[in-house]
Each structure stands twice: as structure tokens, then as C-alpha cells.
Structure 1
Amino acid sequence: MKEKFLLNPEITFLNHGSFGACPKPIFENYQHWQLELEKEPVQFITKKLPALMRESREALADFIHCDADDVYFLSNPTTAINTIMRSLPLQPGDEILSSDNEYGAMDRTWNFYCKKSGAKYVRQHISMPVVSKEEMIAEFWKGYNSNTKVIFLNQISSATALIFPVKEICDKAQELGLITIVDGAHVPGHIDLNISELNPDFYTGTLHKWMLAPKGSSFLYVKKEFQDRIDPLVVSWGYESEMPGQSQFLDYHEFQGTRDMSAFLSTKAAIRFLIENGWTQKSAESKQRILNHYKFFCDLLKSEPICPVTPEFLGQMCSVPISTKKPVELKELLFSKYKIEIPVTKLNGNFYLRISLNAYNSKDDLDKLAEALKEIMEQTDLLQ
């Protein structure tokens, strides 16, 4: 599978989770759309693009199981959450309940909003190691009170790689009349996603991570009852349009000035690649490799797993707790000397070596990482 990707063969790439990796056939489709745009920009943007975007949305909607009119493309989940954030009518004292496992950019987004609105962002502590899904859920809801109006939760944590029980939390939030916002950046193409069954009010995810699409391809799903409450982040021609489409929601959000939509138009090619290459099985093989090696790396680095080593909590990523006072130096040494691309993540004062795998990875890649870590432990003070 490595030959199907554009990754540098001299690098052991154990960091699919950060920005993904695009296979050659999908990237070629991406370049095809860029070329079509440049051949005749006016005709492409004004005449062809609306229908092509509709086809891409329909393909995506079928893949993530929602109505094509309830979802639109944007560059990244950060943009999606900022769009939602700026339309929330929270009052001073209202609370947004989250976890202390959220992505740093999202924490910053909500902190910004709360400074402006007087609302409160609650990062509910999740104990490590996680013992069970039931205890995780119970601990999360300890942060709830009568002021809680919004639930914001990642389905897979970027720093800790933990899969959160979002379905159970969304179900209870609906019973309590709370707005539910799910950050699923790591979910599409990684673990099963059925938005209709999950039933959030808002859901954002990427295509450029585990769906293997070109960089800058993501989506925002908004439940129909909330669509007329969400203002466009950028006001453009779709606002009070002279030629309105069937959906004001899409008019407001889909076209916001001149943009290269080629990454979005590659959606069908990405889904086709996943299907034709049996990606469900290849994903399962990567997940099993994570399960097989997580405890090994914890033992090697003299730490303990942060969750039960089961598919309930781990997908194609795992985060190994490490003891280091020089996380940046450690990451740079792994890359510069050993040619291993792997992140050192930080959350709540703790550091983790996050391993993420895809079909281009083999056991040899993990063996190379293990040998490098052993040598670093023997020859440096970077891992204590």
C-alpha cells in the first residue's frame, strides 16, 4: 500500500492522525479539478461548480449517513466550530460542558467566546487511566448543572487518542434539552459514523485525515431545526440571494467568495478509493496492530495504558504516556536522526507519544520506533 501514497519513502510515517496522507489516485483527481478550474474559471465557477458540489455533498452524505441538504464543505473543523460559536445565543452564566480531552484550538475558541459572552466553558476532568465507558460517562456528567446549555465533545481525542462514548452522551443531552456539538475530526473513515443514529445537533469532521482526501477538506452537519439560526461566518452572495436555491442554509454557507473547491470535489474519488481498496479491512488490520502493540510500548517506556486495550477505546491511534522534560527535543531527535515522524502531544501537563497507523504502515515501522526509543533511553536524558 505504501506505493499508492505520496509519502517520502525515507521517512517512517507514524503520524497519519495529524494531517492525513493522500493516495496518488485521489491526488490526481484533485489536480484534475484544479486544471478544470484554470481552463475556464468563469464557466467552471458559475455554471459547473454548483452541480459538482451537489454531487460531492450527496456522496459524502451517503458515506456519513445524513441528508445531503444538512451538510456542507469547509476547510477544517476549527472553521466549523467558529461558525457555530458565533451564532450561539448564550447569556452570562450559561455553561458549555466539555471534557479536559478536547483539541487545543477548540479550547481556545470557546475561551474566546466566553470572554465575549459571559458564558462559562467547563472542562470536566476525565480520570486517567479510564476504567470503563460507564465510569467515563458518569464522570463527564458530574460537570452538569442547571446552567448547562450546550454539550461540546470530541468523539476521538487528538492528544490521548481515546474514543469517547458520544452516542450515550448525546442521547442523555437530548433528554435534558441541551444543544449537542460533536467534534469528529478523527472519525470519518476511522470508526463507523452514522450521523442519523448519533443524532447530534451539530457535527464536524474531516475528509483529509482518515478518508484520505486532499488537505483542507472537512464538513459541518447541522440539524434542520438549527439551520436558520446559524449565520454564515463570511457574508457573501448567498445572503439574501437574488437567485436563491432550495436551501437558505446552503446559500449562506456553501459559497463564500472565490475559493478553489478542488479538495471538496475529490470526495467521490476518495470514497471510491476506500471501497475499491477494501479499506474497512485495512483499517481493521491497523486497529489490531495498535491493540497488539500498545501495552508493549507502555512497558518499554515504563508507563501504563491510559485505557483498557480494547476497540471500545482505541482505533488506529494510541497515546503512550511518557516522562520527559524535553518534549520538543524528543520529537525533533526522532525525526532528524531516526527519520521517524511521530508527535509528542501534551494535555493537562502530561506528555504522550501518539502512534497512528494506516495501511501503508507495517510491523517493521513499529520495530524501528522501538529500537529508536531504546537507544534514546540508553544514550540521552530525553526519556526519564
Structure 2
Amino acid sequence: MSTRRTFFRQLGAAATTPLVLPDFLTEANRSVFQRLQHTASSPQQIAQDEDFWSWIKAEYTVSPNILNLNNGGVSPQPKLVQDAHIRFYQYCNEAPSYYMWRILDQGRESLRAKLADLSGCSPDELAINRNATEGLNTVIFGLTLKPGDEVILAKQDYPNMINAWKQREKRDGIKLVWLDLKLPSENEEELVRHYVSAFTSKTKVVHTTHVVNWSGQIMPVRKIADAAHKQGIEVICDGAHSFAHLEYKIPDLGCDYYATSLHKWLCAPFGSGMMYVRKDKIRNIWALLSSPEPDGADIRKFESLGTRSFAAEMAIGTAVDFHLSIGSARKFARLHYLKNYWAEKVKDISGVNLFTSLKPEFAGALAVVGITGMKGPELESELLGTYKIHTTPITLGPIDGVRVTPHVYTTPKELDRLVVAITELAGKQNLATKQKKS
């Protein structure tokens, strides 16, 4: 009898290719597989197939009491990934230095190839590390820049990256050119012009964020990169919130350098990530940590991290398999559907402010919602304390509210809880405002 987990393991290779009914399927699994076969050309249709997604939800061990809508911070892992991590961890503990360094360490190359296939690049362009911050800091501190060289970045970029650039400014005398993006935006050309207008003969690097963590805005990275390259400017892309969320390959972005956290939308073990450096650019980046050839052309120079969790690293492969069993297009369609499901229901309520586009080309799963008269931290506290809904507060310029990030295991019924909560809180706030006026 084929278990549900076996089903997803074996379905993985077929999810992105023409579907063929395999012999191992039970009658129950066969009906799901057949429906998937009929709707494979329409991810939008399967995005609303609750029978299919209930199978996905059953693979997670999330709390039935706390509604976790902060998957953008870090995502839970499906049971398959947890099991793989534990299995590798126990294996290592039989004789740590032997099994970690002589056995599991040999699996990195096949894992690298697997991630490269998912990413659409060469294995020789990917380094496996612990998170997006580590990868992007490696690039930021590894670039050769001199006093007066200009770097363009936005106030809406991630704080860890902003702080890294500020350190280079303080230490090396480079000049940071700040952009203040008007978000949300549904005008790609305007966003591109904002970057291009800041280009000068001294501009050496443009730092971009593919999905802005503050609002869920999808940025036109490829168009910015193309414009930058015409003037000999290099491009860094922060892909922390876009990898295994949006449907794309890294080379599609046209960037020279890229990093992501795999413990977000890929649902890999906590503390797992990867960085991409275009093959001809690897020599340009000095290794952040000690390496025999810190200025060499081998991507592996960025993996000299010392002792790390080999068990977590090897379990990344299982997370890739699980992702492929769903399929990138179907996953994005589902995530966007879930975001719009709740956002459409609250956007016209008096006092409710939505800071994220509902169009799939401008936002996926992430959205920020606020209530007039309530600060983001206050709204976050009310949602958690009264309704047991976990979000994260967001305050940046005019954006003031909470970030809501469902994942593939989230159901519309659960999101109805969020709709009720926002409706009630907005109603109370509106009533309080009227009473003050009277």
C-alpha cells in the first residue's frame, strides 16, 4: 500500500513534466493524480482544489490552535523533511567526525546539482550556506570597492543588508545612494526609472530586493539589471522572499549575485540557504571566511564555514523533492490565491488599509494590512492575544500594519478567522473614532 508520503516522493519527478499514471498508486491516490493530470495546464484551477491541498496540509505538523500567518519569517517543514533531518542527525551521532566529514560531506555535490537544476543555473555557480544574510554579506564585503564608489540601494531593502552596506561606507568610504520607493506600485517602468535616474559614472553596484519584505512588492529586477548592465554596473539581488515562492529561474533575473534562505518558502531545515554568483564573477568576490584561494574562481571557496549542521544541509534535498511534487506554478498560484482570498474580503471595510497589490505580477503570498488608528504592533498584539493569529508588525514610512503570509498548508477556512478578526477590530476602531468625535 502506497502511503501519502510515498505518493509525494514519487510524484516529485512527474510534477513538472507530462503526467503519466504510475503503477504504485492506490485507487484513492489514483483519483487525485488523475485530477492533477486534467488540471496540470491550469495552476489557477488547482489552486482552488481543496481536496488536493488538504493532502499537502496533512504533511505538516503545525499547531491546530495558533494560526501561523508569519511564514515569511521562517516556514515549518513538512514531516518528510523533519524525518530526513532527524535521520541524518542520528546518523551523525554514531561517529560525528566520520559520518559528517567522510560520508555526509560527500553528498554536497549531488545536493548542489539538485539545487542548480531547480534554480536553472550551473552547479558551479551555487554555494550552499546558512541563509540569505550570510550569502549577501559575503558579496557585499567581498566586492572590491574604493572610496567614492557609489552603491544604489533602497530604504525598503532588508535591514541586515542595509547595515552591511553602512559598515562598508564607514570602513571603506564608499558612497551610498538612497532611494525611497513609493510602495505599493503597479508601475514597473516607474520603479525602474527610480533606479536608473540615480545612475552616475561613479555607480558600481545596484542592490535590489526581489520581493520586498515590508510589503510583498515584487520588484522588476530583470529590467533594473538590464539597465544597469548597459552602463557597466553590477547587480545584487536579495531573493530571500522569492525563491520557491514565485515561479522563476535565477538567471531570469539577470543579476550578477544572488542569495536566498531555503528555510522560508522552500520549507527546508532552519538555518539553510544558498548563494549564486555568475560564473565569470566568482573571482570578483573575496571569500568572507578563510579559504585556500579567497580570490579564486571556485564557488566552493564560499563554503569554508567550519563545522555546521550536515544533517540540516542534507535534508534540503528532501525539501526540494517536496516542492517539486507540488510544482512551482501550482505553488505560486495557490499562494497568490490565498493572499487574495482574505485581502479581497477586507480591502473595502471602512478603516482597513491594504499596502499590497492584488495582482499576481506585483505580489504573491505576502501582504500588509493595517487599521486606521491602530499601530502595527498594537494590531499584531490584538490578533495574537484575542484571536490566536500570529503575524508580524510592519512599520516603515506610510506602511503601518501587520504582514500576513500564509503557506501551502494554510486553508481558506483558517483565513476566514483572520477576516473575522480584522472586521471586528476595524469595527471597534471605527466606533471609538465616532464616539470621540461626538
Selected match of 1:281 from 307, 321, 330: 330
**In 2: Cα distance, 1:114 partner to 1:382 partner:** 49
The residue aligned with 1:225 is 280
When residues 303 and 94 of structure 1 are mapped into structure 2, their CA distance, relative to the original with a 3 A threshold, is: farther
Q: Does 1:105 align with 2:150?
A: no
**In 2: Cα distance, 1:141 partner to 1:337 partner:** 46
Check conservation: 1:324, 1:382, Cα contact below 8 A: no
Check conservation: 1:95, 1:150, Cα contact below 8 A: yes
Selected match of 2:226 from 162, 165, 171: 171
Over the matched positions of the two proteins, sequence identity in percent amounts to 28
**In 1: Cα distance, 2:224 partner to 2:431 partner:** 39
Amino acid across the alignment from 2:292: Y
When residues 312 and 206 of structure 1 are mapped into structure 2, their CA distance, relative to the original with a 3 A threshold, is: same
When residues 28 and 175 of structure 1 are mapped into structure 2, their CA distance, relative to the original with a 3 A threshold, is: same
Q: Does 1:216 align with 2:271?
A: yes
**In 1: Cα distance, 2:148 partner to 2:318 partner:** 47
The residue aligned with 1:148 is 203
Count of matched residue positions in the alignment of Structure 1 and Structure 2: 377
1:134-145 to 2 correspondences below 5 Å: 134-145=189-200
**SS of match in other structure, 1:310:** coil
The residue aligned with 1:125 is 180
Selected match of 1:330 from 379, 385, 388: 379
When residues 66 and 129 of structure 1 are mapped into structure 2, their CA distance, relative to the original with a 3 A threshold, is: closer
1:316-355 to 2 correspondences below 5 Å: 316-324=365-373, 326-348=375-397, 350-355=399-404
The residue aligned with 2:421 is 372
Q: Does 1:298 align with 2:351?
A: no
When residues 45 and 248 of structure 1 are mapped into structure 2, their CA distance, relative to the original with a 3 A threshold, is: farther
TM-score for the superposition, normalised by structure 1: 0.90
Check conservation: 1:330, 1:382, Cα contact below 8 A: no
Q: Aligned-pair RMSD on alpha carbons?
A: 2.4
**SS of match in other structure, 1:152:** strand
Give unpaired runs (5+ residues) of structure 1: 242-246
**SS of match in other structure, 1:16:** coil
TM-score for the superposition, normalised by structure 2: 0.80
**SS of match in other structure, 1:20:** coil
- 1:159 Cα shift? 0.7
Check conservation: 1:14, 1:356, Cα contact below 8 A: yes
**In 1: Cα distance, 2:416 partner to 2:383 partner:** 14
**SS of match in other structure, 1:354:** strand
- 1:300 Cα shift? 2.6
**In 2: Cα distance, 1:123 partner to 1:303 partner:** 30
Report Cα offsets for 1:290-342 as digits up to 9, x if no partner.
Answer: 23443433323635544652111011122224445543232122112211011
**In 2: Cα distance, 1:144 partner to 1:303 partner:** 38
1:1-384 to 2 correspondences below 5 Å: 1-235=56-290, 238-239=291-292, 249-278=298-327, 280-300=329-349, 302-303=351-352, 305-306=354-355, 308-324=357-373, 326-348=375-397, 350-379=399-428
Check conservation: 2:205, 2:234, Cα contact below 8 A: yes
Report Cα offsets for 1:221-242 as digits up to 9, x if no partner.
Answer: 111222123222221xx4259x
**SS of match in other structure, 1:84:** helix
**In 1: Cα distance, 2:373 partner to 2:280 partner:** 48
When residues 176 and 208 of structure 1 are mapped into structure 2, their CA distance, relative to the original with a 3 A threshold, is: same
Check conservation: 1:96, 1:150, Cα contact below 8 A: yes
Larger Rg: 1 or 2?
A: 2
Amino acid across the alignment from 2:105: P
Check conservation: 2:372, 2:429, Cα contact below 8 A: no
- 1:278 Cα shift? 4.7
**In 2: Cα distance, 1:308 partner to 1:260 partner:** 38
Amino acid across the alignment from 1:37: C
Report Cα offsets for 1:132-181 as digits up to 9, x if no partner.
Answer: 11122122322222221101000000011000001111111111111110
**SS of match in other structure, 2:177:** strand
Give unpaired runs (5+ residues) of structure 2: 1-55, 434-438
**In 2: Cα distance, 1:137 partner to 1:73 partner:** 31
